[in-house]
């Protein structure tokens, strides 16, 4: 049995007397720790006796009462304050709260060092310390057995949870994503997650840096411990029985084991992205026989009989790792490649890409190609996806499917785009080349300014009469009057096709 507060007070040479909270004298003390932080409950474990000179004690009575309440809520066994007290005196409010919460408040004589109390607790709890060492040894033995058996991360997490009698969930601090979770935790990607929301609130309260252990707001059964991994992460332990939560020292060993698993997962993720990018790059850049392509796609879990390419952006709002994680969370087999300031994915055509909306940053936009069946069509599909992405960005829409959910004209292939440019703008492009003029640019600015003479002249830094002369010359060269709506529409779509084909003149 662990030493109780009552037994500690009865040890003569410790010279500690009870000042308040006598109803809790039978609380067991597992360890005695000195802490002068203003929030010691975030650095101690359940069953710890807090030893303090009072430096962290609030000055106001209401603050002192809240201080005691937080200690009791965290399962601290008691509070021992050394005398003489250099901090504000113990208020009546603090005494009343200690009595109400049954949290013993002790005053220890000036000539008694805190190490004497710590040693008394350690000596009395020698058997308990041995059990803690055995539990730590069991933790690492679980890891050894799981590694030897090739168990999944989920299996290892469940084994660790069984050892500490808690359900374990590991969250990414930056994105709130569940990195590791026992299947018994339930929930699906994008579904409401009260634990995640409470963790985000705790991270905000602590400026993104978590102390040793934090109870989540409104949930005494949930404790957060930082995971010492390269990727900022937190371990949330949910107590599922009446047993006490493990002490912080043991939980830090659990967090260390999880950190090793996260580092392994990060390495596997990077390798998976690299391999998938190589396959997709080959499909886009070099001819690949259909049987070979389908074989390589099947190795990534993709049905190669009906495919789509999706282009994702903008670059500064969506990191490829985030997109990869979202696709994995939704069980979507895919290839992923970063190319030309956007992220490109290939997946089966029946994939519901819209379900990713809740898992990606709000600024994300996506363009999706029409379905295709042969690898030789991948290049055209990439252009379609890029053009649809442009339409999504211009229309401020989350996702545009090429040829379906948008009104703007979009060519189906690069050849079709160049044909549209040649048919409408070919003579004007040739005129610019021969005379070193910029009539195409003038035409673009004029239409983008809704044919406003004044605004267009200002943007081009020319006189209005010069603009009138240029527009008349353009009409003569292309054989179309820009006062007619049909001609304006044809010219505008041709300019769009010129942009989508790379801004180059047709061959």
The domain spanning residue 245 has which CATH number?
A: 3.30.450.40
Domain boundary among 81, 106, 124: 124
Q: What is the mean pLDDT of residues 176-186?
A: 71
Confidence at 507, pLDDT banded by 50, 70, 90: very low
392 class by beta-carbon count within 10 Å (0-12 exposed, 13-18 middle, 19+ buried): buried
Considering the domain boundaries, does residue 279 fall inside one?
no
Rounded distance between C-alpha atoms, residue 327 and residue 346, angstroms? 11
One domain, residues 210 and 308: no
Burial (0-12, 13-18, 19+ Cβ within 10 Å), 56:
middle
Q: pLDDT grade, residue 505 (50/70/90)?
A: very low
CA-to-CA distance for 174 and 227, rounded, in angstroms? Answer: 13
Our count of domains for the chain comes to 4
Per the model's pLDDT, the better-predicted residue between 79 and 192 turns out to be: 79
Any domain includes 507: no
Query: Which CATH number covers residue 88?
Result: 3.40.1390.20
The whole-number pLDDT of residue 180 equals 82
My answer on whether 134 and 119 are in the same domain is no
Q: Identify whether residues 88 and 188 lie together within a single domain.
A: no
CA 256, 261, 262, 263 dihedral sign is: positive
- 40: which 2 tokens? 């010691």
Based on C-alpha coordinates, what's the Rg of the chain?
A: 34
Q: What pLDDT, in 10s, does the model give residues 268-281?
A: 888 988 999 999 99
Residue 361 lies in a domain: yes
For residue 208, is it left (φ>0), alpha (ψ between -120 and 50) or beta? left
Domain span at residue 295? 287-401
Q: Which residue has the higher pLDDT, 487 or 182?
A: 487
pLDDT, position 167 = 86
Q: SS3 of 3, please?
A: strand
> Across all residues in the chain, what is the average pLDDT?
84
Q: What is the mean pLDDT of residues 387-405?
A: 79
Does the residue 505 lie in any domain?
Answer: no
Q: Roughly what angle, to the nearest 10 degrees, separates helices 485-500 and 439-448?
A: 110
Q: How many CB atoms lie within 10 A of CB 347?
A: 23
Confidence of residue 407 (pLDDT cuts 50, 70, 90): very low
C-alpha 200, offset from chain centre = 11
Q: Is 273 contained in some domain?
A: no
CA–CA separation, 426 vs 420, rounded Å?
Answer: 9
The C-alpha atoms of residue 226 and residue 275 are separated, in whole angstroms, by 32
Domain membership flag for residue 57:
yes
Q: Residues 242, 335: one domain? A: no
For residues 143 and 93, membership in a common domain is answered with no
Rounded percentage of the chain residues whose pLDDT exceeds 90: 28
Let me know whether 11 and 117 are in one domain: yes
Q: Average pLDDT in the 394-411 region?
A: 68
Residue 128 has a pLDDT of: 66
395 and 428 in one domain?
A: no
Confidence check: pLDDT of 489 > 70: yes
Shared domain check, 349 and 436: no
Residue 214 reports pLDDT greater than 70: yes
Q: Which of 346, 380, 401 is the last residue of a domain?
A: 401
Domain finish residue from 124, 139, 165: 124
- Say whether pLDDT at 339 is over 50: yes
**Do residues 304 and 393 both lie within one domain?**
yes
Per-residue pLDDT reduced to its tens digit, 115-141: 999 888 888 777 666 666 777 777 778
In the predicted structure, residue 330 carries a pLDDT above the cut 90: no
Confidence grade of residue 31 (pLDDT, cut at 50, 70, 90): confident
CATH number at residue 327: 3.30.70.270
Which of 107-116, 213-222, 307-316, 465-474 shows the lowest mean pLDDT across its residues?
Answer: 213-222
Coil, strand or helix: which one is 49?
A: strand
Asked if residue 40 is part of any domain, the answer here is: yes
349-369 residue pLDDT tens: 877 776 776 678 888 888 898
- Whole-angstrom distance, CA of residue 145 vs CA of residue 161: 15
> 291 with 261, same domain?
no
120 and 149 within one domain: no
In a domain? residue 178: yes
Residue 489: CATH number of its domain: 1.10.10.2840
| 393 and 434 housed in the same domain | no
293 CB-near residues (< 8 Å, 6+ apart): 283, 304, 375
pLDDT digits (tens, 9 = 90+) for 60-110: 999 999 999 999 988 899 999 998 766 778 999 999 999 999 999 999 998
What is the value of pTM for the model shown?
A: 0.58
């Amino acid at each position: 049995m662990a030493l109780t507060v009552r037994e500690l007070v009865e040890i003569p040479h410790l010279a500690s007397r009870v000042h308040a909270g006598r109803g809790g004298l039978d609380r067991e003390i597992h360890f005695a720790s000195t802490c002068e932080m203003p929030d010691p409950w975030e650095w101690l474990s359940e069953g710890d006796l807090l030893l303090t000179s009072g430096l962290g004690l609030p000055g106001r009575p209401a603050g002192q009462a809240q201080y005691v309440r937080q200690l009791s809520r965290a399962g601290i066994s008691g509070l021992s304050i050394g005398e003489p007290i250099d901090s504000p005196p113990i208020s009546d409010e603090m005494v009343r709260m200690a009595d109400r919460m049954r949290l013993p408040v002790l005053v220890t004589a000036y000539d008694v060092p805190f190490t004497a109390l710590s040693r008394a607790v350690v000596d009395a709890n020698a058997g308990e310390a041995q059990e803690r060492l055995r539990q730590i040894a069991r933790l690492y033995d679980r890891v050894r057995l799981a590694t030897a058996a090739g168990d999944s991360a989920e299996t290892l997490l469940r084994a660790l949870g069984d050892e500490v009698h808690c359900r374990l969930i590991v969250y990414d601090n930056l994105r709130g994503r569940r990195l590791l979770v026992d299947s018994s935790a339930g929930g699906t990607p994008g579904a409401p997650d009260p634990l995640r929301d409470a963790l985000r609130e705790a991270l905000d309260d602590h400026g993104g840096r978590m102390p040793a252990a934090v109870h989540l707001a409104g949930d005494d059964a949930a404790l957060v411990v930082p995971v010492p991994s390269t990727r900022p992460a937190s371990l949330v332990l949910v107590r599922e029985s009446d047993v006490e939560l493990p002490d912080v020292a043991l939980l830090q060993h659990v967090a260390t084991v999880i950190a090793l698993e996260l580092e392994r997962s990060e390495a596997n993720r990077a390798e998976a992205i690299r391999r998938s990018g190589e396959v997709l790059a080959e499909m886009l850049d070099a001819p690949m026989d259909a049987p070979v392509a389908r074989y390589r796609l099947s190795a990534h879990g993709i049905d190669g009989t009906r495919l789509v390419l999706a282009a994702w952006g903008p670059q500064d709002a969506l990191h490829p790792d985030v997109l990869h994680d979202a696709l994995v969370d939704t069980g979507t087999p895919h290839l992923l490649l970063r190319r030309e300031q956007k992220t490109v994915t290939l997946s089966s055509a029946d994939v519901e890409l819209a379900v990713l909306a809740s898992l990606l940053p709000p600024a994300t936009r996506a363009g999706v190609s029409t379905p295709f069946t042969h690898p030789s069509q991948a290049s055209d599909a990439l252009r379609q996806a890029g053009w649809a992405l442009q339409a999504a960005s211009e229309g401020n829409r989350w996702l545009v499917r090429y040829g379906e959910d948008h009104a703007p004209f979009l060519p189906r292939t690069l050849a079709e785009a160049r044909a549209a440019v040649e048919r409408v703008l070919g003579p004007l492009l040739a005129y610019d080349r021969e005379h070193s003029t910029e009539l195409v640019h003038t035409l673009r600015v004029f239409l983008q300014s809704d044919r406003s003479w004044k605004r267009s002249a200002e943007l081009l830094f020319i006189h209005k009469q010069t603009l009138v002369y240029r527009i008349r010359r353009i009409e003569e060269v292309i054989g179309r009057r820009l006062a007619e709506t049909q001609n304006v529409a044809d010219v505008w779509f041709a300019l769009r096709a010129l942009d989508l084909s790379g801004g180059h003149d047709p061959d």
